[in-house]
A and B are shown apart, each in its own frame.
Chain A
Amino acid sequence: MREKLVIIGNGMAPGRMLEHLLERSPERYEVTIFNAEPRVNYDRIMLSPVLSGEKDYEQIIIHGDGWYIKHGITLYKGHKITKIDRTAKTVTSEHGVTESFDKLVIATGSVPFILPVPGNNLPGVLSYRDLDDVNAMLVAAQSRAKAVVIGGGLLGLEAAAGLKARDMDVTVVHLMPTLMERQLDPAAGYMLQRELEARGIKVVTKATTQAIIGQHRTEGVMLADGRVIPATLVIMAAGIRPNASIAKDAALETKRGILVDEGMRTSDPDIFAVGECAEIGGEVYGLVAPLYEMARVAAARLTGDDSATFVHNDTPTKLKVTGIDLFSLGDFADGDDRQEIVLRDATAGVYKRLVLKENRIIGTVLYGETTDGAWFNDLKKKQVDISDMRDTLIFGQAYQGGSPLDPMAAVAALPDDAEICGCNGVCKGKIVGTIKEKGLASLDDVRAHTKASASCGSCTGLVEQLMTLTLGDNYNPAAVQPMCACTSLGHDDVRRLIKAKGLKTIHAVMQELEWKTSCGCAKCRPALNYYLVCDWPGEYADDYQSRFINERAHANIQKDGTYSVVPRMWGGVTNSKELRAIADVVDKFAIPTVKVTGGQRIDMLGIKKEDLPAVWADLGKAGFVSGHAYAKGLRTVKTCVGTDWCRFGTQDSTGLGVRIEKFMWGSWTPAKVKMAVSGCPRNCAEATCKDVGVVCVDSGYEIHFAGAAGLDIKGTEVLGLVKTEDEALEVIVALVQMYREQGRYLERIYKWTKRVGVAEVRRQVLDDVERRRAFYERFVYSQKFAQVDPWSERVSGLHKHEFRPLAAVGVAQAAE
């Protein structure tokens, strides 16, 4: 007969405890879990990336439903335990389920501290603890209104950065003079504040919250000095309290948290407590590393290993805000018996401080440059006497003993017991050993087997370096294809960092992301130019020299160095006046070939570059604008005749095609975008092999996307059916904007879709009406700056140097 183990709570600590338990003694217990949150075990420390949009919920699940089934664990989701009966050895949930136990583990975590001020219960006041909070914030963020975050600690700043990434106007209100004062000294706290302010987050320090004001929901935060900061959303991130009430009710010993011994046992020997609800040696913990240590100890004790004991260890703090590097560890208060070494480079945004006592490191604060964090941590842990390297200590490991500045050498030099992953307490020896022993070859494998870099992920780079060291050429780091030889970053990283770091020029991107070349190459420069055009409409000045010649000359270069020109014919419709003007231009410039393109437009081929401005001038007089047939942008919207003429047409396909083209022309995209609208399922406009297609049917508009008829031939996917032309336009625009924001340069819609998934695109631009609207509005905004006819610009003299030779020299010329 198996013993019965009941766990109250399903957070990260009990989740990890179960993993250890199943590893040690899979058959010993029949496990039942009660979880007040209605979901499986997920990685709570990754909530910030979910809030900022870098990850979604599915990506942060630790144990999915299948895991519980596989291990025969009963999981009650959404069941809050209201009573522990220690005599009967049972627990009872609010839904009335009673379960008996032989051993009980309490893992109820913590509750957010809500400031006891008037208005703290108004709608619009949220805490930041679980996925429900994040979802509520995301809904609030869609209104793009004003948010105030109360609390400038780790959690508050992550919330602020996440809301800012969602386009909210964010103010952080902090009681103390500098941010994160428990982890950072004033200098580093100040640098952090400046960095956040540079990203548009307002910071008010020395601010006491007096009240939250508002009639029916929150309207603002009033400070003690009378200032009122308007806020439609208020996040309370002023601290957490161990959630010990149920243990208290059961007459277990509690102080701040549930008192446990070094084996995680409470005052009742059959009841354990792990996680944020437990108090041990006078301490309660909020960072994940000690919680995982508790999980390890509890699992050992539950399987009869009484040697396992919890030992307090300092844990480094890292802020999970993309683009901000921050590391702090240990004790760094001033004191007579302490000395410090400080390196400060405000311009470069680097600050390092080591606090020493008797020639040993007791505290470290690193800001802006944190690669040596693990090494300093190791010196501190082992209490190494640093007298011999004092002069160069602050410069880090690479400068010790004259060893080269190769980051790989630094990792190679780390001892086996150096901690690599702080969250999971995994050391170098364990990682290297497991890679060798189990023949691991991918980062995911290493994460699965060692847990290293499986939590907050900030040590991923170090783990990858270890993999390279161990596997040599057999390991291809991250398998992320770099954009080009100028960088080791992939397109997605670069796009993310451009946003996160607020980079607004190509030069700034190359400088900040440490490009290996002075001015990039023909692969990265056009890509960066596009990303900046897309991300900062109205702010970024297009870099002409980073465009391919087709976009520079607004015509297609052909094999002999001549160009071809395609005027825009909206929806493929033309008239005698336009045709006459085209014919006149063909005659006047002796254009050798005139051809109808696959997208129903007229192409004039074989034009000399010098003639281009004059050709455009004549076409412009007839009312033509550039057809962008050369562009990584919207090209044509092909149409059939629809209800105007066709016996079968169900909707005005020509009209819709013209409308889409007039709405979207001029927009730049990662690669060319071709569209079509067919008036009935006979599909004469061939809409089902386009980037975006519409097939009109009796009941409305069937929207298609992700087709291709080029290098690959691929039918479209159906996005969905909408009722009205207005809806069709909005969905199409939102789809293209989503692609503009996420696609890699030169990646067609069908390839991007393959990466993102049809369901995800459908979810974001069809099902989620708010998000669709936001995409749509961002597109409309960027069009204000994009819908400029490049031909008329060039005719009026812009970049005229492009079209004339610099000089003509030599005898032959004179003789002509």
Chain B
Amino acid sequence: MNWIAIGTLSDIPQRGARCVDTPSGKVAVFRTAEDRVFAIDDHCPHKGGPLSQGIVHGAAVTCPLHNWVISLETGKALGADEGCVRTIPVKVEGDLLFIALEAHAHKAA
């Protein structure tokens, strides 16, 4: 894994998200109410809505455009909708956040 530091936990509000620009597009990094951190592509499988702008609840986010609910753990759409968004490995060490971009680099290349 090629871990890249992207910032600190306190940079992201609880129940909120921030974006990271990567060669393969925007990645949304989420922080839940329990301080769990997830990263997924910032692109709703439905019509491409920016998931980072949605409301975070539990370990899920509701897309701001058409209210699809996406699981942050699996990237899968919940409920009746079907679709999936790519999840990106993320880890927290102390206060520091890292994502693993190896897969991305290949894809970008």
**A754 on the B face (CB < 8 A):** no
Q: Is the interface of A mostly helix, strand, loop or mixed?
A: mixed
Segment of A232-240, A305-313, A463-471, A514-522 in the binding face: A514-522
B56 touches A809 (CB 8 A): no
B105 touches A517 (CB 8 A): no
B33 touches A518 (CB 8 A): yes
A630 → chain B, closest Cβ, in Å?
Answer: 11
A561→B29 CA distance, assembly (Å): 17
A812→B29 CA distance, assembly (Å): 20
B86 → chain A, closest Cβ, in Å?
Answer: 15
Contact partners of B4 in chain A: CB under 8 A: 809
Contact partners of A548 in chain B: CB under 8 A: 55, 64
**A526 on the B face (CB < 8 A):** yes
Interface size on B, residues (CB 8 A): 42
B23 touches A811 (CB 8 A): yes
For A520, the closest partner residue in chain B by CB is B57
A545 touches B21 (CB 8 A): no
**A69 on the B face (CB < 8 A):** no
B12 → chain A, closest Cβ, in Å?
Answer: 7
**B62 on the A face (CB < 8 A):** yes
A522 touches B22 (CB 8 A): no
**B50 on the A face (CB < 8 A):** yes
* Per-position binary interface string of chain A over residues 37-64, scored 1 when its CB falls under 8 Å from any chain B CB and 0 otherwise: 0000000000000000000000000000
For B55, the closest partner residue in chain A by CB is A522
A526 touches B6 (CB 8 A): no
A812 touches B23 (CB 8 A): yes
For A552, the closest partner residue in chain B by CB is B53
Q: Which of B32, B60, B104 contacts A810 (CB 8 A)?
A: B104
Contact partners of B49 in chain A: CB under 8 A: 561
A755→B76 CA distance, assembly (Å): 39
Q: A805-B21, A811-B23 are in contact. Are A545 and B56 (CB under 8 A)?
A: yes
For A807, the closest partner residue in chain B by CB is B6
Q: Is the interface of B mostly helix, strand, loop or mixed?
A: mixed
B13 touches A544 (CB 8 A): yes
A549 touches B64 (CB 8 A): yes
Contact partners of A117 in chain B: CB under 8 A: none
Q: A522-B62, A545-B13, A801-B11 are in contact. Are A517 and B57 (CB under 8 A)?
A: yes
B7 touches A522 (CB 8 A): no
Contact partners of A518 in chain B: CB under 8 A: 33-34, 58
Contact partners of A549 in chain B: CB under 8 A: 53-54, 64
- Find residues 1-57 in chain B having any chain A CB closer than 8 Å to their own CB: 4, 6-7, 11-16, 18-24, 26, 29, 32-34, 47-50, 53-57
B69 touches A811 (CB 8 A): no
**A559 on the B face (CB < 8 A):** yes
A525→B62 CA distance, assembly (Å): 12
B22 touches A810 (CB 8 A): yes
- With a 10 A CB-CB cut-off, give which of A544, A561, A813 has the most chain B CB atoms: A561
Q: Which of A525, A526, A552, A808 contacts B20 (CB 8 A)?
A: A808
13 interchain pairs (CB within 8 A)?
A519-B33, A522-B57, A549-B54, A557-B50, A561-B50, A801-B11, A805-B26, A806-B11, A806-B18, A808-B20, A810-B22, A810-B101, A812-B108
**B: which residues have CB within 8 A of A?**
4, 6-7, 11-16, 18-24, 26, 29, 32-34, 47-50, 53-58, 60, 62, 64-65, 67, 69, 99, 101, 104-105, 108
